[in-house]
Each structure stands twice: as C-alpha cells, then as structure tokens.
Structure 1
Amino acid sequence: MRRFRPRLLPTLAVLPALVLLLGLGTWQVQRMHWKTDLIATIEARTSSEPVPLLDLPLDDPAAVAWQRTQAVGRFVTVPGPADHYGVENRDGQLGGRLLGAVTIEDGRTLLVDRGFLADAAAPPPEPAGQVELDAIVRDRSEERQTWFMPDNDPASGRWFWLDLAALGGRFDRPLEPVALQLLPGSPGATPEAAPPKIDLPNNHLGYVITWYGLAFALLLVYLAFSSERTDRTP
C-alpha cells in the first residue's frame, strides 16, 4: 500500500511547470483549430465561382485573401526593365514572378502577379486595352523586409519583397493592399502561370501530443515521488 504525501518544495517546483505545459498544449489545440479553419476557408475561396472584384472590400485584405475573382481593367505600361519578384527554380530554370499593375474600372490600381518567368525568357507584353482578368486575390498588406532578404533594386526591376509604396512609385500611382495572382489562361498571364500553392502545414497535433504528454509524464513522476509505502516495518 502507498500513501500520497506531497512535499512543499517539489510541489512548488512542479505546479508552475505543469501549468506551463498544459497551457502550451491548449494553445496548440487552439492553433490547430485555427489552421484547420484557415485551410478550409482558402480551399473554399480558391475553388468557388469568381466574384467580381468591385464587389470585394479591398480595404480589408484578410476578408478577401485567396478569393477567386474577375477584374476588368487596363494594364499600366511603364518604361524600363520588366519587374520580377522573388527567385524560383522551375524545371532547372532560374527566374521569378513577373509583376505588373492594373487599373480597374473605379480608378483603383492593383499589383498583378503575372506568373513565373525564367530569367532567360523575354517577358510577354501587357495586353492592350481593357481586359477581363481571372485571378486570385492575395493579401500583401503585411509584406515586410526580413533580415535575410536582400534590398530591392528597382532600377534593375528586381524585387525580393513587395514594397507596395516603392512599387506604387514605379507605376506612378498608389497601390491597393491586395494583389491579383493571375490564373492560367488569363490575359496577361505568362505561359508558366499556375494556380497558387496552398502550402500551410498543419502539424499542431504533434505539438499537442508532445506538450500534453510531457505534462502527463511530469504528473506521474511527481505522484511517484510524493507517495510512500504504508506497510513499512519500523
């Protein structure tokens, strides 16, 4: 037979650690539900029927992010080199995303991701006149330069992060906080344009098991340490 006899110092040491582990596990449960809902929302928006861009609240990027849309507008033509965003390697070819800008019917201008373009390939010209674009709305309101990103080089058209203020200067007009990622076959899309990748790993369940498992193990060790046999002979 054993009897539970907690001791002050071990209890004071274990309780905060147990609360911390349980709190981390609960936080990961909440993150898991949030990520699951987010992925479901993105999949629903990208696969839905396109919504006219003029019907979307572009000043609320989170509410319209990943929504498939159709936009009517005109490409903005500017002198100088073509603008490329990021660095990608596709089928052994190094390149980036070809950027443009479109002014829509109500006068607002949005940045446009026209698709992948190899560095050695000549950029296709912007379509002339008014066109109807098939695209996915992307939230670009939180774009910031991180410590490992090189500086943008607007003079050569190389953009490693989307500085909307500087890009607005490049296209000589302010840009909305969202951009359009053109779908294959849309006017202005490169031949290598592809639907956006939804790459949001949802591995929070593993963290839930880890934190709750550590909490359970700590509790077992504490209970074993704080119990003593009652059938001992003097």
Structure 2
Amino acid sequence: MTRRWPVIPTIIVLAAVATMIGLGVWQLGRMDEKAALLARYEAAAGAEGEATFPLQGEGAEVWFRRATLLCETPSRIEPVAGTSARGQKGWVQRATCASGALVDIGFTRKLATPDWTGGTVTGVIAPGPRLVADPAVAGLQAMARPDPSDLPNNHLAYAGQWFFFAITAFIIYVLALRRRGR
C-alpha cells in the first residue's frame, strides 16, 4: 500500500516557505532603498546653509542639516542616554519646547536637570526630528554630532535570515516526511 502525501500540511509548509522567500526578496529591495536614503542623508549633512526645523514626524529630507530654532519656555527637560563629543557615555539633556519641538541641549555625566529657560538654539537636525545643539547650551558639554553612518543598513542580513528560515523549514518538513514514510 502506498502512502499518500499529507496534502494540507504540505500546502501550509510550502505557503510558509514561499512567504519567507518573499520576505527575503523584500528585504533585498529594502536594502537598496536604505542605501539611497543614507546617500541622501550624507548629502544633506554636507549641504551649505541652514534648513528650517521640521514639525514633529515630518521633514526627513532635512535630517542631518544645520538649523536654528527658538525654544521658548521648555515644558520639561529630561535626561536620555547619550554620548559626548569626546565619546564619553552619560546623559543628554532633552528639552521639550512649547512648540513641541525636541532639543538636545547638551551632555552631562550628572542626572541633575540644568537650569535652562529656553532661547535660540543652533545645531543639527537628527532623526525624530530633534535638534542636537551645537554648541551646547546651559553650561553643558558638547554632544556627539548626529552622523548618517550611524544608521544601519542591515537588510542583507535580514534577507539572509529569511532565506535560511525557508531552507530550514523545507528541510525539516522533508525529513519529517521521510521519517513518516518508514
């Protein structure tokens, strides 16, 4: 008597393998998109002149450009993990302006909130968007400058993972079928 292939489990496994291969191909496409995006950011970082600081959630085309912002009456200043211009780890003091804009005003090794009531800040627009003050204000130290090369383009690794998952699922299913046939 010949054994029949399990139809429904085979369809499910093949659909899963096809989905994983599709996700791998999609990640390869994202790799090219991310490379183009990083190239735009590199060009923006070297652009002359200042950009207008964007509203929240907008303005990715001006990230890594210099800008000036009037931060009136910050509603709060809170420490977030950060790095100084000299590579030290510690705290970046982030102010939320009355306009809703975020401004990293400077680096410190202390958690104490600086005494800063706002003012005009010049710096570099970082993802978020937020303005990274350059020079730092409120007597704080300079922060590491936002750098587009810090943004990873790891989509090739993700694609490789999806292809590996697809191959692994297929091999495991074939081995399970062989074992079932014995």
Tell me the TM-score normalized by structure 1. 0.51
Give the Cα–Cα distance (whole angstroms) in 1 for the partners of residues 111 and 20 of structure 2: 53
1:135 equivalenced with 2:141 (yes/no)? no
1:208 equivalenced with 2:152 (yes/no)? no
| Deviation (angstroms), 1:16 | 1.4
Give the Cα–Cα distance (whole angstroms) in 1 for the partners of residues 59 and 69 of structure 2: 22
Alignment of 1:20-99 (within 5 A): 20-53=19-52, 58=55, 61-71=58-68, 73=70, 76=72, 83-88=77-82, 95-99=90-94
| Deviation (angstroms), 1:189 | 7.6
Identity among equivalent pairs (%): 28
The residue that corresponds to 1:194 in the other structure is 144
Aligned CA-pair RMSD:
4.4
Give the Cα–Cα distance (whole angstroms) in 2 for the partners of residues 201 and 102 of structure 1: 29
| Deviation (angstroms), 1:120 | 7.3
More helix per residue: 2
**Aligned positions, number:** 168
Distance verdict in 2 for CA 1:63–1:211, change over 3 Å: closer
Does structure 1 conserve the Cα–Cα contact (< 8 Å) formed by 2:64 and 2:124?
yes
Q: In terms of Rg, which structure is larger?
A: 1
Alignment of 1:138-217 (within 5 A): 138-140=126-128, 178-183=129-134, 185=135, 190-198=140-148, 199-215=150-166
Distance verdict in 2 for CA 1:89–1:38, change over 3 Å: closer
Gap runs ≥5 in structure 1 = 1-5, 141-177, 227-234
| Deviation (angstroms), 1:116 | 0.9
Q: SS where residue 140 of structure 2 aligns?
A: coil
Distance verdict in 2 for CA 1:120–1:96, change over 3 Å: closer
Q: Which letter does structure 1 place at the counterpart of 2:141?
A: P
Give the Cα–Cα distance (whole angstroms) in 1 for the partners of residues 158 and 102 of structure 2: 38
Tell me the TM-score normalized by structure 2. 0.61
| Deviation (angstroms), 1:119 | 1.0
Q: Which letter does structure 2 place at the counterpart of 1:25?
A: G
Does structure 2 conserve the Cα–Cα contact (< 8 Å) formed by 1:28 and 1:208?
yes
By relative contact order (CA 8 Å, sep 6+), the higher-ranking structure is 1
Does structure 2 conserve the Cα–Cα contact (< 8 Å) formed by 1:117 and 1:190?
yes
Does structure 1 conserve the Cα–Cα contact (< 8 Å) formed by 2:83 and 2:107?
no
